[in-house]
Amino acid sequence: MLQLRPNCECCNRDLPNESPDARICTFECTFCVDCVNTRLKGVCPNCGGEFTVRPRRPAELLAKYPPSNERVFKPHGCGAAP
């Protein structure tokens, strides 16, 4: 099950479950669409993978399967992909 991380690893922008601006790679590294397009040029700086739109969990399942509260913030790693 996806963790649905709460923020962009690059700029720390909040990305709640309902955000259409969240992007993830296959390792669930989470970034906002702005950082993906401008700073990262579509390549994950952690694994070199591509991004896709993060799916949103249906509201009726959020209580049983809540999003993660753990924030991952690595502004030093947002410059370039490996």
**What is the Cα 6 distance to its own chain's centre?**
8
- As its CATH architecture, domain 1-60 has 2-Layer Sandwich (3.30)
The full set of domain ranges for the chain reads 1-60
pLDDT of residue 23: 98
Enumerate long-range contacts of 12-18, CB under 8 Å, 24 or more apart. 12/71, 12/73, 12/75, 15/54, 16/67, 17/56, 17/57, 17/62, 17/67, 18/56
User: Within 10 Å of residue 11's Cβ, how many Cβ atoms?
Assistant: 14
Asked if the model's pLDDT at residue 82 lies above 50, the reply is no
Task: Report residue 16's pLDDT band, with 50, 70 and 90 as the boundaries.
Answer: very high
pLDDT of residue 77: 77
Stretch 12-32: mean pLDDT, rounded?
A: 97
Q: Which residues have C-beta within 8 Å of that of residue 8, sequence separation ≥ 6?
A: 15, 30, 31, 32, 35
Predicted confidence (pLDDT) per residue in 32-78, tens digit: 999 999 999 999 999 999 999 999 999 999 999 999 999 999 988 78
